[in-house]
Amino acid sequence: MITHIKGKFIEKNPTHVIVETNGIGYWIHISLTTYSQLPVSEEAFLYTYLSVKEDSQTLYGFMSTLEREVYKLLISVSGIGVNTARTMLSTMSTEEIQQAIASGNVAAVQSVKGIGAKTAQKVIIDLKDKIIKTFGLSEETATLNNTNKDEALSALETLGFAKRQAEKVVDGILKSDRTILVEKLIKQALKQL
């Protein structure tokens, strides 16, 4: 398996990049999360996953090993293919996916295009224990983070802030402190908005 690739970016698109290394150009499918983190320079380094099927060999690229590990867990679930997993990583951050699965938040998983209620439940049933063990999350922490985030977003929307902008700020704060209280979360978000 190809675990990573280092070279020069020839092309960058929201769905794929082309990386040249030793005179060979590799077409690598990426998520929007990875695309948003690509460096401005031409230097390329991506962690990869090679999907081998009867009729194709497809390379997927990630900026972090965490994103790659979450991707591999997602495609291990029956009903979640390589493209659905990539769509999930494009729609939600790896932290949001982990929290949604660990807390059993079916609605969050189902919000991804192409994932229905039954598939969302299957993802949670199949991956909940693995996510909690592998990434050191607890069900209580994940549920608390979701509740705090929802309450903070609701308060910020009531104050007139756009949901998307507020969510970005709140996610950033939760990334640095997962145990923050709702009141402090709202205050810090107000300072940044």
Q: What CATH number is associated with residue 144?
A: 1.10.8.10
Same domain? 58 vs 112: no
Give the pLDDT score at 160.
Answer: 84
Give the pLDDT score at 16.
Answer: 95
> Chunked in runs of 10, what are the mean pLDDT values of the chain (193 residues)?
91 94 95 91 93 92 92 92 92 87 86 89 90 65 63 83 82 74 82 82
pTM for the full predicted model: 0.69
Helices 94-103 and 65-75, axial angle in degrees (round to 10):
40
- CATH code, 95: 1.10.150.20
Structural domain boundaries enclosing 119? 65-135
Give the pLDDT score at 10.
Answer: 94
Domain boundary among the residues 22, 45, 62 is at 62
Give the pLDDT score at 6.
Answer: 95
Domain boundary among the residues 119, 135, 151 is at 135
Same domain? 123 vs 78: yes
Give the pLDDT score at 93.
Answer: 87
Same domain? 23 vs 53: yes
DSSP 112-169: STT--HHHHHHHHHHHHHHHHHHHT--HHHHHHHHHHHHHHHHHHHHTT--HHHHHHH
Domain boundary among the residues 135, 150, 174 is at 135
Total of domains in the chain: 3
